[in-house]
Structure 1
Amino acid sequence: MTDLEPEDEETPPNMARVFDHYLGGTDNTVVDREFAAEVDHVFPAMGDLCRGHRRFSAAVVDRWCAQGIDQFLELGAGLPTMDHVHTRARRVHPGARVSYVDTDPLVVVHARRVVAGLDGVAVLEADAGDAQKVLAAPEVRDVLDLGRPVGLLAVAVLHYLTDAVAETAMRDYRAALAPGSGIAVSHLTGVARPDIHGWATMNHSGWSYAPRLRDPEDMDPWLAGTELEGPGWVSAPHWTPDGPAPGPAETGSGLWGVVARVP
């Protein structure tokens, strides 16, 4: 089943729909799939990176649901398809509430069609780096109770932001979260992956994807005042709440992942 409209077929390749294609979804167009095939020739790891981010997100949502968290704020959500947060969380908490945030107007229009009719699920058009705007928007303020724990997902989004914007935004989000809230971050790294470093620095010919590569020492300030949960910074697709997990140098995943809790 797809929520695409005929006019979607006339648009240029869209990153959120390309991501959906790599996850095996149907909310993508011929031009998205053709573009993904071109990307695969230059950077064959793209599909694995998309699936790695999603495996991390799924594991974290499952963990938080088991701990009783039943409301979620996802930054840079893209299209809420293919076992996304509201679907996964509502298997445990049928009344789970979710606010999705994305900066792409086309994606937001499509995402709102995807979740239309779902009570307690909203999609906000905003820059994830502007935490004050996000937190004040009715799509967040009227859906989530920030006086109770919230799971904040910053998955595959912070590598779009500059150091200063990312740190300020994460500080502002953290300050707004109630004790017991969770924060999850996944982020690209070139550790053991020169192909990712090469891809991140190449000319992308107008496609708006020029990610920054960071490592834990660059991102630790974002989590000041929180307590790391589980193994700390590890390979995102291999994150587990119990016991140790390898890093991207051992797995070659190209992704860091971490989960923290607001004490």
Structure 2
Amino acid sequence: MERESSGFDPHTPNVARLYDYFLGGKDHFPADRVAAERLLRVAPEIRAAARANRAFLGRAVRYLAEAGITQFLDIGTGLPAWGNVHEVARKVTPGAKVVYVDRDPVVLVHARAMPAGPGGTTVIDGDLRKPDAILRDPDVLAALDFDRPVGVLLTAVMHYLGESDRPDEIMAALRDAVAPGSHLVMSHGTSDARGAFVRKSTEVYQRAGVPLTLRSRARILELFEGFELVAPGLVWLPEWHPGQTDTIDFGNGPETSLALCGVGRKS
């Protein structure tokens, strides 16, 4: 996930470390745990939602790799966890190239410590709010050939950008930079989730200094402009090509996953 600050502050809740906590990781501090538990009191399903988002990322990367995508640009990658992009992609394409982008120094340290593997991984310090800087980064250009299809991954990151960050311009810059046949993978927290979660979670994140913009289904669809959604379209996290090994229980309905997701292809 994209970071609210590039500085390291263990006393202020941090998006990456909150997500790590929800996934059952160990890279978090007391301030993160306090904020996470406050969120869980509002929406206990957020833990399962985080796992569902991670599972969606794995299914989407596998889908892209099976469709012939061998290059991946993961922006707002967050702390390494089970099913990292390069691990999933290389089960299908051993030589897949992956670029991880984040601006959190803790995330960058952990990402750079991951085994590179046969295809090579690249990790850069970059801010989604400045897509042109990412796309012009010499390490990115050395790793990815933008004349060939690329999988652009934006999972659980766009909802940390407000409308004042001009998300449509960010999406246009990424879309215009990639070749036809490229794919966009995106998951996004939505205001179409249950009202209590939307109201309270926004308040909790705001108190933690992390603005949260939960968008409607219609608004999220607009962010896919220029990409044709593949089946089943824009759906709740557990509804996108669920696998037989998926064990996350959303007995109260898929909308309790709190986020919509989709994969689009550039013609």
Q: TM-score, normalised by structure 2?
A: 0.82
Aligned: 1:254 with 2:258: yes
Aligned to 2:141: 141
- How many residues align? The count is 251
Aligned to 1:237: 238
Q: 1:12 to 1:40 in 2, by over 3 A?
A: same
Once the two structures are superposed, what CA deviation does each residue of 1:192-217 show, in whole Å capped at 9, x if it has no partner?
Answer: 41232122431547524321111232
1:70-109 matches, cutoff 5 A: 70-109=70-109
1:9–1:31 CA contact under 8 A, matched in 2: no
Once the two structures are superposed, what CA deviation does each residue of 1:70-104 show, in whole Å capped at 9, x if it has no partner?
Answer: 11111111113211101111111111111111122
1:61-210 matches, cutoff 5 A: 61-115=61-115, 120-163=120-163, 165-204=166-205, 206-210=207-211
1:186–1:256 CA contact under 8 A, matched in 2: yes
2:35–2:204 CA contact under 8 A, matched in 1: no
Q: 1:223 to 1:241 in 2, by over 3 A?
A: farther
- Give the distance between the partners of 1:205 and 1:228, measured in 2 at CA: 32
Q: 1:78 to 1:93 in 2, by over 3 A?
A: same
Shift of 1:108: 1.7
Once the two structures are superposed, what CA deviation does each residue of 1:83-141 show, in whole Å capped at 9, x if it has no partner?
Answer: 11011111111111111111222322232223568762112211112110110112321
Gaps of at least 5 residues in structure 1 are 1-7, 243-247
Q: 1:139 to 1:165 in 2, by over 3 A?
A: farther
Once the two structures are superposed, what CA deviation does each residue of 1:152-211 show, in whole Å capped at 9, x if it has no partner?
Answer: 111100011123521111101001111111101111113241232122431547524321
Aligned to 1:245: none
Report the identity percentage. Answer: 37
SS at match of 2:185: strand
Shift of 1:42: 4.0
- Give the distance between the partners of 1:99 and 1:177, measured in 2 at CA: 14
SS at match of 2:91: coil
| Paired residue type of 1:256 | L
Mean CA deviation greater in 106-115 or 171-180: 106-115
Aligned to 2:3: none
Shift of 1:35: 4.9
1:230–1:241 CA contact under 8 A, matched in 2: no
| Paired residue type of 1:240 | H
- Give the distance between the partners of 2:9 and 2:226, measured in 1 at CA: 46
Once the two structures are superposed, what CA deviation does each residue of 1:206-246 show, in whole Å capped at 9, x if it has no partner?
Answer: 5243211112321333222221111111112321299xxxx
- Give the distance between the partners of 2:205 and 2:67, measured in 1 at CA: 41
Aligned to 2:51: 51
